[in-house]
Amino acid sequence: MRAMILEKPGMPLQFLEAPDPIPGEGEVLVKISACGVCRTDLHVVDGELPDPKLPIIPGHEIVGTVTGLGVNVDNFKLGERIGIPWLGRTCGSCSYCQSGAENLCDDPGFTGYQIDGGYADVTVADARFCFPVSADYSDSELAPLLCAGLIGYRSLSMVDNDSGRIGIYGFGAAAHIVTQLARHQDREVYAFTRPGDRAAQEFALEMGATWVGDSDREPPDELDAAIIFAPVGSLIPAALKAVRKGGVVICGGIHMSDIPSFAYKILWGERVLRSVANLTRQDARDFLELAPKVPIRTRIEEFALEDANLALEALRAGNLTGAAVLIP
Ligand SMILES: [Zn+2]
Ligand SMILES: [Zn+2]
């Protein structure tokens, strides 16, 4: 196999050639055709998330074809195209797993963090955490649905149905998908970008946003809810100020810079601040079934697997329109 591997946080990924992995019990062997680049990968590479497996192959938006089956796999066939997401395994027995909240499992394993992921041409994965994927999408178009899409979907599901005016802070891969979903539900999207990022603002308008502006500006209308995808803690007070009484502010990212202190009065009025963590398999099934019906279209920028470091730098610099996807 060929892979881009992280030996140590803070270092560039290294190209590695190694023997192909062998699928164990309950695992599928997958020939990867595309893997999306997610901001979480940057947090892993930069050492902002605790205790990654090292060395680790990042990547958790994997699309590929099943080329081998371990024993006791009965949900996929050889040759089937599947998706492999962030949630790679759960314990199945903790109180969260038992109560339908496996996204909060006490002993989970995440793809590209504790389990080798998709910055490679081959991988193995626990078949119970893989999904069939729609034939309506190419491999590259599908990849961003597997995390950016899923976390956007889960974030939007935390907003009640009467909330018609949604603010979105940070307009990248997740935002461009959730905007299409929000428009499909007849909501208006107010998109906030890095100050002066005209390209992202044009992109947001193209995806159906009603209003676009710099994240240090206040919107012209009061928002019912806001979703923050940018990893910038100072956006939390900004978003709380922008939402109405009883409105919710949802943090969709796994890591943020520290939140500056703020006056209690911007939370007062029964405003709610919450995060969204990971995904459940039910989220994945529901969203992957819904996406082609909307239909959600993803904007992608392809990079060769060996150029993974360039893709990560482009994401860090805010130079992508849509989602980066690695092609092995
Ligand atoms: Zn558990
Ligand atoms: Zn992700």
List CB-based neighbours of ion ligand 2 within 5 Å.
38, 40, 147
For residue 232, give the 3-state DSSP assignment: coil
Ligand nearest to the CA of 105: 1
Q: For position 22, what pLDDT does the model report?
A: 97
The answer to whether domain 2-147+279-327 and domain 150-275 are alike in fold is no
Whole-angstrom distance, CA of residue 237 vs CA of residue 287: 30
Q: Which DSSP state fits 106?
A: S
Q: For position 219, what pLDDT does the model report?
A: 97
Furthest-apart CA pair in the chain: how many Å?
59
Q: Give pLDDT < 70 ranges for the chain.
A: none
Specify the CATH architecture of the domain 150-275: 3-Layer(aba) Sandwich (3.40)
One-letter amino acid at 39 equals R
pTM of the predicted model as reported, rounded to 2 decimal places: 0.96
CATH of 2-147+279-327, one of 3.90.180.10, 3.30.470.10, 1.10.287.470, 2.40.290.10: 3.90.180.10
Give residue 221 CA to ligand 2 midpoint distance, Å. Answer: 31
Q: For position 70, what pLDDT does the model report?
A: 97
Task: Tell whether omega for the bond before 295 is within 30 degrees of 0, i.e. cis.
Answer: yes
Number of H helices, E strands in the chain: 9, 17
Give residue 239 CA to ligand 2 midpoint distance, Å. Answer: 22
Q: Residue 302: name the closest of 119, 36, 122 by CA.
A: 36
Give residue 5 CA to ligand 1 midpoint distance, Å. Answer: 28
Give residue 138 CA to ligand 2 midpoint distance, Å. Answer: 19
> What's the chain's Rg over C-alpha atoms?
19
Per residue in 3-53, pLDDT (tens digit) is 999 999 999 999 999 999 999 999 999 999 999 999 999 999 999 999 999
Domain limits, the chain: 2-147+279-327, 150-275
Give residue 98 CA to ligand 1 midpoint distance, Å. Answer: 7
Give residue 141 CA to ligand 2 midpoint distance, Å. Answer: 15
Ligand nearest to the CA of 86: 2
